[in-house]
Structure 1
Amino acid sequence: MAHDLSSRGQDALAAAWAVLREWLQADLQGQEVFQLLVDEPDRGVRALAARLERTGIPGFTAEVSGGMLGKLVQIASAEAVHVHQDRGHPPGYPSRPAELPPDIAAFTGRVSELEQLTELVDTAEARSSTPIIVVDGPPGVGKSALTIHFAHMISHRYPDGQLYVNLQGSTPGLAPLNPIDVLGRFLRALGMDGKEIPVDTGEAATRFRSLASGRKMLIMLDNAASAVQARQLIPAGTGCAVLVTSREVLATLDGVAHLHLSVLSAPEAVTLLGKFAGEARVAADPEATSTLARQCGLLPLALRIAGARLAARPSWSLQALAGRLMDERARLNELQLGDLAVRASFEISYEALSAVYGPAQVSCARTFRLLGLLEGPDVSVDVVAALTGGTLGATDEALERLVDAQLLESPSPGRYQMHDLLRLFAREHAFRDDAPDDRRLALHRTFEFFLARARGASARLQPTDPRRTVQKADDEPWFATRTLALDWLEAERPNVVAAAQQAAAAPDQFGAIATQIADALFWFCHLRAYPRDLDVLGRLALATAQRLGDREGEGQSLHNLCIANLRLRRFDEAVRHGTRGLAVRRAIGDRYGEGRTLDALGRVHYMMGRFDEAVEYGEKSLAIARQIQDRYSESAVLCNLVPAYQAMRRYTEAITCGQESLTIRTELGDRYGEGRMRMSLGVAYQASGRLDEAIMCFEESLAVFRDIGDRYDEGRSLFHLAVAHGIGGRHTDAIEFCEFSITVRRETADRYGEGESLHQLGTLLRKIGDEDGARVRLEQALIIFEELGVPNAEDIRTLLET
């Protein structure tokens, strides 16, 4: 504050300080007046000011009248006592504690968090209120390290000292400290004789608030167990700042600002490993370092242990430790060193579940354990209710209490996720505390839940497909609208894929359900352009069906893999899987499946430019559909025959097929099929020179696909509109549609489609004279087609050479 004084005032302060030092050392009366600063700060300041004024220091009175020097005298007096406190001042003499632990030498990152903490302190002080900040987070995330580092950053702002206590809220082997014991420590640190410290908690807290009043002190309450434990240790009034760390949120503390701490970013994790293991060592093997950081879950405690283990073993490579951590069953055993252990840190929070919530809440611990059995990235309340067999209300309550205990995180309302290392810890306890049958039933309930919901959602998306008409036992659909079905599938897709993979890993118990889950999710992944998920699901379903001798499942999985590889433009693989699937379906007499796989092979051959084969497969498929009176398959095959006939310049047959298919799909109420048919019919009209009818069909198909949420085919419709407008000479409209299609195709990871649209845009830009823009787009298209290994690349090279 001295910089706010005038030059004359600063001279007065320096002279007052010199007198004050001499006075406090020699004058017993000065010590008595100083006692007033402890008991009655305002009277103490006035007494000191009167004594200094009598010394006749020039300019002193004017500064006192301004109210500033009085505060400075108070601060200076505290500094003077601190300098001379080793000379044996009388009891009650104020002291200047400096109890913060040493700053963290290996502290890394947390730039954003430190900025937030600084802003919280600045904001509180600007409002003349006491900054009280609670830093909460899961075990091992570095709450204490961050807060101690921040406390050292701002300690100069609190010249009356720093108080620190570890409240032992999550210290292995130690019970949380009682507030009266902590208050006793604080009062002694502030100069009170131990014999005078009250034994009553309320009285001791009052005395502490009196001693802290008027001071500028920093108080750190580390590792708080609860709001009740911390509440009595917070001073009243202004001047002090309080930093609290806890695994609990401590939401019931009044006037508190909260900072939730999560794991480090990947670059921060790598840097922290380097500080322990050696920066050169880390830089020499970035791939192993990245793997090791992921295996530690970016958790500071785990990273610190891993780095320290490497430091103690200079001959080990990072790859060697990463290899030891590869086995999830042994990972927590590896992440311990000396008195540091990730498992021990987690154990405190787990054991506290019953201690905090009581015997009636053992469901919290059971829910936590069973969650460790699941592989997905997150869970919803209804999924966990299926896992535990509980009601939605009880499940929601248990999940929220696990969030409060920092054993779960809730990234959005109703959704929960668990840190990878906590998942391993929970799984350990599930295998230790829950019977094998209980674990198996919990997983079976969850897999059945995912299967039923995925089937129900798929049936809502494609109600006219006879294979997907599945409803609840009470005949009430789970999803009242198509939008609800799409939203559920979009949210749960990663979890359903994970469930299928987990079920497939235990074929003896869950093999059949793995194949069924994979097939149930097929339509959505096809609709929303997730071809890699189609490939993953198809492969695991095929392997499982073959192990179980499930020929029907094998045929369906091969069919799905044919479609997946078609979407990935891996045509030879698509033909191989389709041909094998066709043989299986013929062997078991599955006429419906045989017809669908013939249709799929026709589509693959069309994409390969083998139009005669495409028509041959399509006509065989159409004959089966009509023979078994499957109107849905008949309309689908007619739709797929349109481009094949058109490519052979058999326009009349193409348009006839298209019109027949559109009639059937309209009768069935098949909106997706209607959209696809209008798009195919538009291509046929365009090829035959009926451009206006083509554009109308493309516009209608675009409207359908946007209405049903089919992003993949939305991109295709936009592309066809660009081509049609380009043929009609409306280049501005054509370029706009082309740019829209590029955006959609990038968003749906349709690499071939993106290249196709870039090719078209380059051609359009060249027509309007923008050679530079055209070259950029064509070169981008060339890169994509070369990556995919498709013949289109040669066409692009020819264009770039002209």
Structure 2
Amino acid sequence: MKQSDETGQLQPSARRLRVLGPVLAWHQQRRAELGPPLQRAVLCILAAQAGQVVSKEQLIGGLWRERVPKTAEQSIYTYVAGLRRALEPDRGPREPFQLLVNRPGGYALQRGRFHIDAEEFEDRIAETRRLLTKGDRRGSLRELETALRLWTGPALSGIPGPFAEAERARLEELRLITVEDRADILLGLGRHQEALPALHDLVGEHPLRERARELLMLALYRSGRQADSLAAYLDIRHLLAERLGVDPGESLQRRYHAILRSGPTLDSADPDQGQIRLGSRSPLHTGDPEAPVPRQLPRAMDGFVGRTDESVRLRSLLAPGESAPPQAVVAITGPAGVGKSAMAVQSAHAVGDHFPDGLLYANLLGATPGVERLKPIDLLGRFLRALGVRAEAVPHEVDEAAAMLRDTLAGRRVLAVLDDASGPDQVRPLLDLPSGNAVLITSRESFAAVDNCAQVRLGMMVRSEAVTMLAKLIGAGRVAANPAVAARLVDLCDGLPLALRLAAARLIDRPHWGVRHLVERLEDRGRILHELESGDIAVRSSLELSHDTLSRSSRPLDRLAARTLCHLGILHVPDVTSHVVAALLDASVDQAERSLERLTEAHLLESHEFGRFQLHDLVRLFAMELAEDHLTHETRSGALSRALGLYGVTARLATRLVDPHRVQPPWPHTGPQPAPLSSNQDGHAWMERERANVLAAASQAMSAPDDSVASMGAYVGFSLMWHLYRAGHRNENLRTNQQALEAGQRLGNQEIMALAHGYVAMTLTRMGQAAEALPHQLAELELQRGLRNRFEEMRALGNLSVAYLNLERYADALECSEIQFAIARDIGADVGQRHALSMLGCAHRGLGNLSEAGATLSEAVSLSRAAGDQFHVSHTLRCLAEVRLDQNDPLSAKTLLEEAFAIGREIRNHDAAPWCLTHLATANRLLGQFESAVAYATEAVAVARAINDKRREEMAAWELSTAQEALAAGAQGQEEVDPVGHR
């Protein structure tokens, strides 16, 4: 049954859900309050599979994918409960849920109980296809136009998460195709003027959509604008060449040539008639019809799957259209075992018809161990003989043989596949063939500097393609028996085709094994390279050859690159920069940068971001073996210590640039010069971008058996503490400091133990676990007093007062703050005095002494402003705002909170955001500004949940509920106006 009229306007129905724009729902003409963005995302996931059971795991994956919070399951329960309240507001307390129901294994949104605009959109598209098969173009046009009117903005607007991202892209692509289909039908009806506005908009938004461009060209031509039509083609040809390095597709080229010649079929009302078909032979083909036509390609590999984007690119380069010659040189490059040869052979077979005069092939043996590489003169001789030159006539000099090959290929169309080139030098004599011929090369080395060369780089296969490849090799049944284990096997093989084939070979040889048996063996990362061997083929030997080629080279840079690869096996971090590698090597930054670039050219490293380099897992394991085999224990420890030092001193510099008032942990080590940073922005950007690396390096070091390295790892972790605190990275802060505590206990280092206890306590307090934090904070205080460090004792007392405040032990907090203030004044620690005053003010507030609390906090604000300590200004303003709320002065509180929030945002103190937002919600509610209160409280819940602040989340959730009730009461039952005008 249709859910809309002929104008596409939604008709009144009991329940409606809109996802083609901002996500909204209506119940009995009243808009439902669907809650925070992630709760609405849950509804979208359920609605997309209406009538089907959706498991908690699917919901969690749709919201977070790999970055799943610990509270994910509880959050799903909360979101489902919230949706049920919103969707069935009239349900009695004991009535069963009718819409969002529990099912074995998950939840289901009952089908047919909702009108969902996306369903109607897809139904109308299906109806369009049915009408077209009956020849009813006008009816199909009405359906498409009605479908397009359902859209009110980007699909799933404002909805976060991987599901929403994918569904948004799918629906948007469907909308674009629908816009193109509408234009196509208009052109078929002879209504080209009506098609132009939408096509102009579509091409403006998506300038690389070839179908839209072709329809625009035809509409312009039929409107008497031939010059504009041709200009539209030249524009996309320029854009494709500039952005993708490819030419327009064959259909678009045919349309261009037809318009150029004013072909009579272009005036046909049916756009599918009269398309130009160019001949299959090149006008350049003038060769001898009796000349040999070599067909030397090896058979295409069985089990070849995927690589769709690369295949399309290669085809567009080698067979760009009958009116254009192929790209002169195409190089497929990538790391060992990535499938370059298979890709080249597959692509050469696919474009074979475009090279009627021959397909040449040679294995150049550039990376074959123990075998001499094919010399250029031998390669030239092979090809000349294959093309009909008598053996005795082949020149013995490279230059003469290359000239003869060019002469022989003049006027012909031949594709030469040069497999496994050691680099550009080995094939340079073949890189200047006459137009119409092409050379397709595979190599582990970069060809980016070669003239007239288009480089296609192969990376690791995406998981879905790799699983399909595995299924073809070992049988779909073995993969289908446990798809998750098959996906894990792909991950362990890094999506590397060579590794996957070796893994498949082991499974084929062992039919009694399930895939899980091999996965269990490969999970032991120490033996994975041993497992991925079959006969004389192995991942390790392939990598060894690449390393040995560099290490035995006569070029100093190659040998430095080999040494760098070995040292990269020492440090286990996600990616590195030249500064970090310079520390590892004890070399200059310039030397490190050049060696990293050389390893990238050799495809032993990857660089997806300027100045940053990564190792794939299998290459990393190989590098770790190199480090173990080729470097002494002292060398490894020294290199790791230098890298740790670089991270530590740079983190301390970055922290100082971001906020010079914060007291940093001690640094009892000498280290290299820090990476060059000069501004607040530099410091913050470095800490956020290097956060994963610093923490990984610290964790690795703290687990090391070397005591000095383990100690240094703890201090490196401490150096990032303030950034983790302010940015709200609480789980990482807790995990790092818990490991530091274990390391300190193992080493018997009381300073490390004391600091770690304090930072664990600080983080637990911020996570709403003050009771768990208190023993750690008391332990720090006891250790610091034992170390007779009065400054650290003073700091520990201040943090203890924070824990007591969170436990509402205000008298204890007051006592701690008074002692802290006395010590801070005694030793001249201004920052300690500011902190103590703010804690004293909070303690007085908790004890009901509001006047004294206000005076003390006002003094703390003044001192912090005078010192330029924005962190303390923001914190103390928040505390003072709480006093004003207690004094029933919400207007003053709101003013203080707005300034505190603005400062917090300016200094990037995300940790304080939930507190500020919650109290802003309270102040606005008390002032009768209920909509603002709801907005602030909603944001507070989301932010608190994101940074794992359970206490603030509970407070914000309570405030949100209170503000919503106040808003509902204030509205006095008035119905909202829905988007189509119904009240």
Task: Please indicate the TM-score interval, normalised by the length of the shorter structure.
Answer: 0.7 to 0.9
Deviates more, 1:236-245 or 1:731-740: 731-740
Q: Does 1:413 align with 2:610?
A: yes
Shift of 1:152: 2.4
User: Is the Cα contact below 8 Å between 2:914 and 2:956 reproduced in 1?
Assistant: no
Deviates more, 1:426-435 or 1:639-648: 639-648
User: Is the Cα contact below 8 Å between 1:208 and 1:235 reproduced in 2?
Assistant: no
User: Is the Cα contact below 8 Å between 2:821 and 2:836 reproduced in 1?
Assistant: yes
User: Is the Cα contact below 8 Å between 1:215 and 1:239 reproduced in 2?
Assistant: yes
Name whichever structure is richer in helix by fraction: 1
Shift of 1:297: 2.3
2:851 to 633, 649, 652: 652
Q: Does 1:236 align with 2:399?
A: no
Aligned partner of 1:243: which letter? L
Shift of 1:542: 0.8
1:554 to 750, 753, 769: 753
User: Is the Cα contact below 8 Å between 2:768 and 2:949 reproduced in 1?
Assistant: no
CA spacing shift, 1:72–1:274, aligned 2, 3 Å = closer
CA spacing shift, 1:410–1:71, aligned 2, 3 Å = closer
Aligned to 1:503: 701
| Distance of 1:512 and 1:74 partners within structure 2 | 72
Secondary structure of 2:923's match? helix
Aligned to 2:784: 585
Secondary structure of 1:328's match? coil
CA spacing shift, 1:412–1:651, aligned 2, 3 Å = same
1:731 to 930, 938, 941: 930
Q: Does 1:699 align with 2:884?
A: no
CA spacing shift, 1:569–1:200, aligned 2, 3 Å = same
Question: Over residues 477-535 of structure 1, what are the superposed CA-to-partner deviations in whole Å (9 max), with x where a residue is unaligned?
Answer: 96432222212211221111111112112242412212211221111111111112112
Aligned to 2:361: 164
2:680 to 479, 482, 485: 482
Question: Over residues 437-495 of structure 1, what are the superposed CA-to-partner deviations in whole Å (9 max), with x where a residue is unaligned?
Answer: 22221111111222222222223334234445889999999643222221221122111
CA spacing shift, 1:243–1:618, aligned 2, 3 Å = same
Question: Over residues 231-254 of structure 1, what are the superposed CA-to-partner deviations in whole Å (9 max), with x where a residue is unaligned?
Answer: 322463333333221111112321
Q: Does 1:523 align with 2:722?
A: yes
Shift of 1:538: 0.7
Q: Does 1:138 align with 2:332?
A: no
Larger gyration radius, structure 1 or structure 2: 1
Aligned partner of 2:681: which letter? T
Shift of 1:276: 3.0
1:417-456 to 2 correspondences below 5 Å: 417-456=614-653
2:480 to 251, 276, 283: 283
User: Is the Cα contact below 8 Å between 1:172 and 1:348 reproduced in 2?
Assistant: yes
Secondary structure of 1:379's match? coil
Question: Over residues 152-192 of structure 1, what are the superposed CA-to-partner deviations in whole Å (9 max), with x where a residue is unaligned?
Answer: 22223333332111111212222221122112222222233
User: Is the Cα contact below 8 Å between 2:649 and 2:673 reproduced in 1?
Assistant: no
Q: Does 1:154 align with 2:342?
A: no
How many residues are matched?
Answer: 695
User: Is the Cα contact below 8 Å between 1:463 and 1:469 reproduced in 2?
Assistant: no
Question: Over residues 375-425 of structure 1, what are the superposed CA-to-partner deviations in whole Å (9 max), with x where a residue is unaligned?
Answer: 111111111111111112222222221221212222222221122221222
Aligned partner of 1:343: which letter? R
Shift of 1:619: 4.9
Gaps of 5+ in 2: 1-277, 974-983
Task: Give the aligned CA root-mean-square deviation in angstroms.
Answer: 3.4
| Distance of 1:340 and 1:106 partners within structure 2 | 18
Percent of matched pairs sharing the same residue: 33
Aligned partner of 1:198: which letter? P
CA spacing shift, 1:77–1:587, aligned 2, 3 Å = closer
Shift of 1:645: 4.2
2:468 to 271, 274, 287: 271
CA spacing shift, 1:478–1:351, aligned 2, 3 Å = closer
Aligned to 2:768: 569
Aligned to 2:736: 537
CA spacing shift, 1:360–1:158, aligned 2, 3 Å = closer
Gaps of 5+ in 1: 1-67, 82-92, 775-802
User: Is the Cα contact below 8 Å between 2:650 and 2:674 reproduced in 1?
Assistant: no
TM-score, normalised relative to structure 2: 0.65
1:611-626 to 2 correspondences below 5 Å: 614-615=813-814, 617-619=816-818, 621-622=820-821, 624-626=823-825
Q: Does 1:663 align with 2:878?
A: no
Aligned partner of 1:338: which letter? G
Aligned partner of 1:596: which letter? R
Question: Over residues 583-624 of structure 1, what are the superposed CA-to-partner deviations in whole Å (9 max), with x where a residue is unaligned?
Answer: 433444444434433443443444455555555555554455
CA spacing shift, 1:473–1:322, aligned 2, 3 Å = closer
User: Is the Cα contact below 8 Å between 1:671 and 1:704 reproduced in 2?
Assistant: yes
CA spacing shift, 1:459–1:74, aligned 2, 3 Å = closer
2:383 to 181, 186, 190: 186
User: Is the Cα contact below 8 Å between 2:328 and 2:432 reproduced in 1?
Assistant: no
TM-score, normalised relative to structure 1: 0.79
CA spacing shift, 1:531–1:149, aligned 2, 3 Å = same
Aligned to 1:367: 564
Aligned to 2:544: 347
Aligned to 1:788: none
Shift of 1:345: 0.8
Aligned to 1:48: none
Shift of 1:353: 1.5
| Distance of 2:665 and 2:699 partners within structure 1 | 22
Shift of 1:130: 3.3
| Distance of 1:419 and 1:107 partners within structure 2 | 22
User: Is the Cα contact below 8 Å between 1:535 and 1:565 reproduced in 2?
Assistant: yes
Shift of 1:741: 4.8
Secondary structure of 2:526's match? helix
CA spacing shift, 1:759–1:174, aligned 2, 3 Å = farther
| Distance of 1:464 and 1:72 partners within structure 2 | 74
Aligned to 2:591: 394
CA spacing shift, 1:178–1:320, aligned 2, 3 Å = same
User: Is the Cα contact below 8 Å between 1:456 and 1:478 reproduced in 2?
Assistant: no
